Chains A and B, each alone.
Chain A
Amino acid sequence: MFSADSTPIRSIIMTTHNPKPGESINGGEALVRALELEGVDVVFGLPGGATLPIYDPILESTMRHILVRHEQGAGHMAQGYAHATGRPGVALVTSGPGATNIVTPLCDAQIDSIPMVCITGQVPYAAIGTDAFQECDTTGITMAATKHNFLVSEAADIPRIVHEAFHIATTGRPGPVLIDVPKDIVDANNPRSAMQWYQAGDADMELPGYHPAGAGDREAIMAAAELIRQAERPVLYVGGGILKARAAESLLELAELTGIPVVTTLMARGAFPDSHELCLGMPGMHGNYTAVTAMQQADLLISLGARFDDRVTGRLDGFAPDAKVVHVDIDEAEIGKVRAVDVGVRGDCKLVIDALIECLAELGGPDAQADRSAWRSKVSGWQEKYPLFYEQSRPGDLLKPQYVVEQLCDLNPADTIVASGVGQHQMYASNFWKFDHPYTWINSGGLGTMGFSIPAAIGAKVGMPDRRVWAIDGDGCFQMTAQELVTASVEQIPIKVALLNNGYLGMVRQWQDLFYEKRFSGVELGPDVPNYVKWAEAMGCVGIRVDSPEEVAPAIAKANEIDDRPVVVEFRTDPEENVFPMVPSGHTNSDVVVHPAQRGE
């Protein structure tokens, strides 16, 4: 029998990392080993009382642990890692405040379908419900913020639950899964942690209610193909699901086969090359005129892994009034949730697109497609008349943020990964950066989490160390999560941050400017405090300040030369600049407002 003060249960894992089936091992070691067996190479975390027993075996693990400065950072890093690599990101935080601090990233990952596994410490099982120190109801709090969560009650369940968690996080519609681990079952000093090791496989999973979608119904796909064949004004409406399904190549084939123009939503930027003649760019509230209007006037929307978000549709009763809808989604609950469909296909986007291509071939291939030449010329007419536009700054004026983004794009390789925060800078980045590769754009689309970019960029760089990673951030966002640049410095993760400092919470300011008679309330941050260059330097980064257009390119070049530490380039930008086009809230997309200089022609 064990007692609480008996010799710690230590096993051979401490030296070999490879326990044999049936070998005595403790739950903490089992957790670490189970993570390794899921292919986890990096864990973003911050320890605490409840996770001490998990952090001990981590010292012997092959996994890299990255010590964050705030648990929110751990969550967004795991998201950035997952966005960039397609592999689930892993975060490890303690009970109570550790868990509550990571709720925002979980919510973010849930709404943007990011695969991640979050492990939270919990007070000992017997103490749950007693309001113990650093206790909170983590599974209760995160129920609506995760795809699924587990509270582990026995050490012996750990390998199975870890395998189930990764399975759920990465299959079907991906999402965050949380495993809440009471301290006693991982504590080498506690008899409740004793277990016999086993490697959990698919056969061990106990998930009788989980059946992720597969290939999609062939009859429905054929019906979709027939609608596509006949459509004279179709648009491929492409969402983040294309990227989750690794379907960018299939999409390219479908678009070229049919000659149908493509819009890529905020979550799908890069899923279809911006340089392609069929690419119309981003639709929605701050989409470009052509993407918005093409959807609005379409006779068929082919929605692939998109969910008719309110930021895309504008006022729903006036959205794409003449369009029939084909909706392909891996999540059946999305089909018809917002907009009634003519054909719904529940399935993996890649498999469904490949089947669509086969069905279109059966229906006669490119020659059998409706004549779309009039549609294409209409679309290119809009592109010509209303391109993305901004006015260059006059000498002595503050920088235009769009110019900074264009310069960044021009002076970096095409496969550079861009991570953005939330606000005006996010819209400038998503519109004015030209994305020609999938998985190069990382942002918080659904939840709109300010402060996302720096930790997400760090996670992306950890996952893709050979790629250049730029965070494009605003000053409001920067102040929310900048402390993770300390993590980046110490861990030698050389990301680059383009800080567009306009001294305001710019997007809120824009709405007050346009819809609240310029009554600016609670939006002024001021450009000078904090001193961003000094702050960057204090965190171990290189800090550079840029005030004028001619300094922009040299500063970017200088930042690109530095590869041994993070760089923050502060660009002083014009607070008066607003994001256009814009569909005012409550209006239909037919009311899209272009840049003032493009109006009244």
Chain B
Amino acid sequence: MSDIIIKADHVSMRFNLASEKVDNMKEYFIRRLKRKVNTDDEFWALQDVSFQVEKGESVALIGLNGCGKSTMLKTIAGVLKPTAGKVTVNGSIAPMIELGAGFDMDLTARENVYLNGAILGYNKEQMRIYYDDIVEFSELTDFMDVPVKNFSSGMLARLAFSIATIGKPDILIVDEVLSVGDFRFQEKCEKRIHGMMKEDTTILFVSHSIAQVKKICKRAIWLEKGHIREDGASEEVGSRFERAYYAGELE
């Protein structure tokens, strides 16, 4: 059981803050004429990050805002291409990077279930099988024909979580998702994640709640300013992270 499912190999991600602002032609041509090369406006969100995740592992990414957690998840999900290095993923990914990313506000919940299912790569027949399960888990039976623009954020979160966790994805990415919904639903979600872990789904988890991290994940990777600071058992890394935070070590 040492199948490596995610392999990040010296991954670096650079954002060019200056060139990103150019979205009209005037600026573009002015820059062209000036031949301006702003090297001082570069921002490295990740620098030389390497780690491996084995099948069935549950890994948390922790760190302060802007330390590169979300960027790391996005490169794994295939949304961002790293500037240098390589990310190899062997398996299907169910991304929950932000809740309701795939929702069309004008469509009803029912239509959105099928649309989101298609985004995750399921066809209509498969979705029909999962449909009842999604409705039941999200507890939205009476609201399936309501356009989702009329949903509360809690309802949206429930629906999104229910859709993302259908089937048996090889990798489940959970980014700050469990902080929405009431306490009872959070518990239900955690239960489901534990259930998926038993079935060998690999979990990548991002949260600011160290308690939650310790509860759900066995391993934690602590990112600081784009570098890996620590990588180890979530209990220890989490505690050290908390200690460092309260000691005011982290800026």
Same complex: no
